[in-house]
Amino acid sequence: MALKQTPSQTVGPYFAYGLTPEQYGYDFRSLFGPVLAEPQAPGEHMRLTGRVFDGDGVPVNDAMIEILQADAQGRFIASRAEAAASGFRGFGRCGTGTHAALHYWFDTVKPGAAAVGEAPHIDVIVTMRGILSHAFTRVYFEDEAEANARDPVLAALPAERRATLIARRAAQPGGVVICRFDIRMQGPKETVFFDL
């Protein structure tokens, strides 16, 4: 290799006006936000939401979560034109600092399986003050028990750690499906983070 990677540094506590300005009420256009799926996007609509906890179990108020996922048919969006035509964007960004209970949230559709043998999942980047190199994790779904049992990534994990990657499903009055996925940075239920 001719060149070496530029080292990572923390996103720090003050990213919001640069990276998530509209969500936090700054007068600057957001390039990415918490809405991945417009109402017309095909598939089962859901809200993915949760909190990030530090090693003391305290909810983190300055984390930034980014997600990348396939659409309901298991395809990744490859162009702006495709996203505009389907109403599904495939990538979202949300900070934990604006919700009263410090939740992040994404309005999206449940992804389809992107490859043979893979369970449906959402890829996640977690970063915050106190994280010097962003962390990668994944969201799987509890109503996909069979696919989860066959998924090679889940299968490679110790059974007691698999549960940290499974979002819990709850119907809300009004019909929107809520998928709850909390991220624990440390502790006995520390979320599985990947070297990717």
Partner 1 sequence: MPAPSPLAPGLTPRDWASHPPYLSPGYKSTTKRGPTRPLVPLARALAARRAPVYGHEDIGALDHDLTRNAAKNGEPLGERIWVTGRVLDEGGRPVANTLVEVWQANAAGRYVHKADQHHAPLDPNFLGAGRCLTDAEGRYRFLTIKPGAYPWGNHPNAWRPNHIHFSLFGEYFASRLVTQMYFPGDPLLAHDPIYQSAPAGARERLISRLKLDSGGEPGFALGFEFDLVLRGAGATPMEA
Judged by CB under 8 A, the chain residues 94 through 153 that form the site for partner 1 are 97, 112-116, 118, 123, 125, 127-136, 152-153
Span interacting with partner 1, options 43-51, 72-80, 101-109, 171-179, rule CB under 8 A: 72-80
29: contact with partner 1 by CB under 8 A: yes
Least separation in angstroms between residue 170's CB and partner 1 is: 27
Nearer to partner 1, 14 or 176 (CB): 14
User: At 127, which helix (H) or strand (E)?
Assistant: strand 122-128
155: contact with partner 1 by CB under 8 A: no
Residue 46 CA from chain centroid, whole number: 13
Phi and psi torsions of 61, nearest 5°: -100, 5
DSSP string, 75-119: ----SHHHHHHHTB-SEEEEESSSSTT--EEEEEEPPPPSSTTPP
Nearer to partner 1, 82 or 143 (CB): 82
43: contact with partner 1 by CB under 8 A: no
State the Cα–Cα distance between residues 151 and 128, nearest whole angstrom: 29
3: contact with partner 1 by CB under 8 A: yes
Least separation in angstroms between residue 27's CB and partner 1 is: 7
> Do strands 135-141 and 166-171 pair parallel, antiparallel, or not at all (unpaired)?
parallel
